[in-house]
Structure 1
């Protein structure tokens, strides 16, 4: 078991199967030692996590939705790494989209749900560059979508 998988177990997180693409794209592309993971929408074992920040969803619920995106990112990353998370060197960059009203200004607080989780799961290697932007709507009405770039050893 890799250090990352040990940390996930300590956090009580079991990675789901990597989600299948919802349209005409691939879930990840590896270029050199960088893995570019397509946007992962907020979903859990009960289905899609829908909502709009500043309307019908709290910052805390949005952060929990962002964490679920990060869990899906790691599931895709595990698949990209051939099932071996010990090959993960670091998180490089996240780009996060938050379904929010025009007057909602706390997108960074929502995306902290993903960032905090990646640091907890990957340690210092989970610290990353990031963008957290508002979106007028997201596919299927989900609350959050996050794409990521990770480095493999």
Structure 2
């Protein structure tokens, strides 16, 4: 869902988004390709890092926080799969390939990539964000990293929860 959401977010009206699904070598393979904004070669190595938004400033980010791709990759890895991305440059769109084992052929989960942040074991985090999607996403990411995360929507709720 995140890959499709990103493709829609970064592809202008009238653009093209392709989704292909197939099986290969005991894996489901899903490819999402668009002809939208694309990425520079410098952005590619960091695209799956937490809070990485590439060269997008707040006026170009289309509301993205830079956690969706990191979360998507981590979820793929937790299911023994991989998520790879590529772009031929700005204005050339992007392509993401998700591979996950088919149910009948599930290997041991892959070790997280070396770029994965360290776990936040025992950390207690209070996320305060009036953007429901942003707050919930950040809470989920922090939970995946081992933190006990609580999400509230405003300052009053934050003070109540903190107390």
Common topology (TM > 0.5): no
Alignment TM-score, normalising by the size of structure 1: 0.32
Could you say which structure has the greater relative contact order, defined with CA pairs below 8 angstroms and 6 or more residues apart? 1
| Structure with larger Rg | 2
Alignment TM-score, normalising by the size of structure 2: 0.30
> Whose strand proportion is higher, 1 or 2?
1
> Whose helix proportion is higher, 1 or 2?
1
